């Protein structure tokens, strides 16, 4: 039986050869010691790129929502905010909309009735795009969006809800979202590679070679490297509740390991009760920030337990956690560099997870 590392390397190399992505990383842990293992393949670009190694940073896209949710959970656990607080309390921009009455809990569970997505960045003036000052016109545009519904207990996945949540948290805490997530998530867990890339920050310590190229946007100056792919997050300066984080797969897997520890009552980062509430499948089908393994056709494959939970990122990243088996698997790819059609990554993800899970299970 081949080791998980060999199998993962072969699968990732196969994805490169098939043109699913130019490069990828994976990391996983299994068992009570939470020991991390990993693999990588390919290059940061389709031509002339540096080899991907375990330290290459990927745009994790909507996995950012897991970090935002974790920060909210930690703050709520300490009593610094309440799940029942309404968005309108700190977002006057949304007053008069149904979403002003949505609670933080409803936003975390995607039950707030926000429309899934809208090109809010188009309403940000050119002079403000790509700066933190772009968030104000972004919120104004959000208030003008027709909602999918009133907050009604039905899960409708939405970027807009997490954009609003990020700003709400900033105003409640009195610090920028990147500072909040650093204080509540990345620093306590030692996730040294996980960082936002705000255009106003001094990021000179990281060269372009440290990042996997994500895509090409002619209207944003060409190839996107080390700059968030999501246009709404970019228009707001690169820091938002729904997207903007970069990380190596090993640190994403460490986040998964921290959830396993919390669910097992280990460590002090998050209590067992809070972790269990977040990773509980609500009647709507989602948790607080998390999605769950589906009965059929899951991107987590067929071997992940039915209580498995996690999230996907549009750029080709994912994190899946299986509390019963005590394992977490992070996958990072730059599949959007090859185009935005989802067919190839949809076929690759379950194949990859099944291969790694089979090796971890020893069968």
Burial zone of 134 (CB within 10 Å; 0-12 exposed, 13-18 middle, 19+ buried): buried
Burial zone of 343 (CB within 10 Å; 0-12 exposed, 13-18 middle, 19+ buried): exposed
CA dihedral (245, 319, 248, 61) positive or negative: negative
Q: Sketch out the chain's domains with CATH numbers.
A: 4-64+192-361 (3.40.710.10), 66-187 (3.40.710.10)
Give the chain's length: 363
DSSP-assigned beta bridge partners for residue 329 = 28, 320
Write out the E strands in 148-214.
Answer: 195-196
The pTM score is 0.97
The answer to whether residues 257 and 34 touch, using CB atoms and an 8 Å cutoff, is: yes
Rounded CA-CA distance 191/214 in Å is: 22
| Number of Cβ atoms within 10 Å of the Cβ of 325 | 18
Q: Closest Cα partner for 331 from 24, 10, 43, 20?
A: 24
The answer to whether residues 303 and 7 touch, using CB atoms and an 8 Å cutoff, is: no
Q: Is beta strand 195-196 parallel, antiparallel or unpaired with respect to 215-217?
A: unpaired
Q: CA 198, 22, 356: angle at the middle one, nearest 5?
A: 100
Q: Write out 95-111 in H/E/C secondary structure.
A: CCCHHHHCEHHHHHCCC
pLDDT in tens, the chain (363 residues): 799 999 999 999 999 999 999 999 999 999 999 999 999 999 999 999 999 999 999 999 999 999 999 999 999 999 999 999 999 999 999 999 999 999 999 999 999 999 999 999 999 999 999 999 999 999 999 999 999 999 999 999 999 999 999 999 999 999 999 999 999 999 999 999 999 987 544 455 577 779 999 999 999 999 999 999 999 999 999 999 999 999 999 999 999 999 999 999 998 999 999 999 999 999 999 999 999 999 999 999 999 999 999 999 999 999 999 999 999 999 999 999 999 899 999 999 999 999 999 999 985
The answer to whether residues 12 and 318 touch, using CB atoms and an 8 Å cutoff, is: no
The single residue listed with the structure tokens 């309390």 is 89
Q: How far is residue 110 from each of residues 28, 150, 203, 265, measured CA to CA in Å?
A: 27, 12, 33, 27
Rounded CA-CA distance 80/99 in Å is: 22
Helices of type H across 43-134? 64-77, 104-108
Rounded CA-CA distance 66/243 in Å is: 10
What are the strands of the beta sheet with 317-322, ordered from one edge?
Answer: 36-42, 23-30, 327-333, 317-322, 309-313, 291-292
Residue 272 is given by DSSP the state: H
């Amino acid at each position: 039986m081949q080791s998980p590392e060999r199998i993962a390397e072969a699968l990732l190399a196969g994805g490169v050869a098939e043109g699913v992505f130019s490069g990828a990383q994976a990391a996983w842990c299994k068992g009570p010691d939470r020991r991390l293992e990993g693999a990588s393949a390919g290059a940061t670009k389709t031509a002339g790129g540096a080899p991907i190694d375990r330290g290459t940073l990927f745009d994790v896209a909507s996995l950012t929502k897991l970090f935002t949710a974790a920060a909210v959970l930690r703050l709520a656990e300490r009593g610094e905010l309440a799940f029942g607080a309404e968005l309108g309390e700190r977002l006057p921009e949304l007053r008069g909309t149904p979403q002003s009455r949505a609670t933080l809990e409803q936003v975390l569970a995607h039950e707030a009735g926000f429309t899934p997505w809208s090109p809010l960045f188009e309403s940000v003036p050119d002079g403000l795009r790509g700066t933190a000052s772009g968030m104000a016109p972004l919120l104004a545009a959000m208030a003008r969006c027709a909602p999918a519904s009133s907050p009604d207990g039905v899960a409708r996945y939405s970027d807009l809800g997490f954009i609003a949540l990020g700003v709400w948290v900033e105003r409640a805490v009195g610090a920028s979202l990147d500072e909040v997530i650093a204080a509540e998530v990345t620093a306590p867990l030692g996730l040294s590679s996980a960082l936002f890339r705000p255009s106003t920050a001094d990021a000179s310590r990281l060269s372009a070679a440290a990042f996997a190229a994500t895509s090409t946007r002619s209207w944003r100056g060409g190839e996107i490297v080390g700059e968030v792919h999501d246009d709404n997050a970019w228009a707001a300066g690169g820091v938002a509740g729904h997207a903007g984080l970069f990380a190596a797969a090993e640190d994403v897997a460490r986040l998964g390991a921290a959830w396993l520890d919390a669910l097992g009552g280990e460590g002090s980062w998050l209590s067992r009760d809070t972790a269990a509430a977040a990773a509980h499948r609500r009647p709507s089908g989602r948790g607080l920030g998390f999605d769950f393994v589906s009965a059929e056709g899951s991107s987590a494959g067929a071997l992940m337990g039915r209580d498995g939970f996690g999230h996907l990122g549009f750029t080709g990243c994912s994190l899946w956690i299986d509390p019963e088996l005590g394992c977490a698997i992070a996958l990072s790819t730059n599949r959007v560099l090859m185009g935005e059609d989802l067919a190839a990554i949809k076929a690759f993800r379950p194949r990859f997870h099944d291969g790694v899970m089979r090796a971890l299970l020893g069968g």
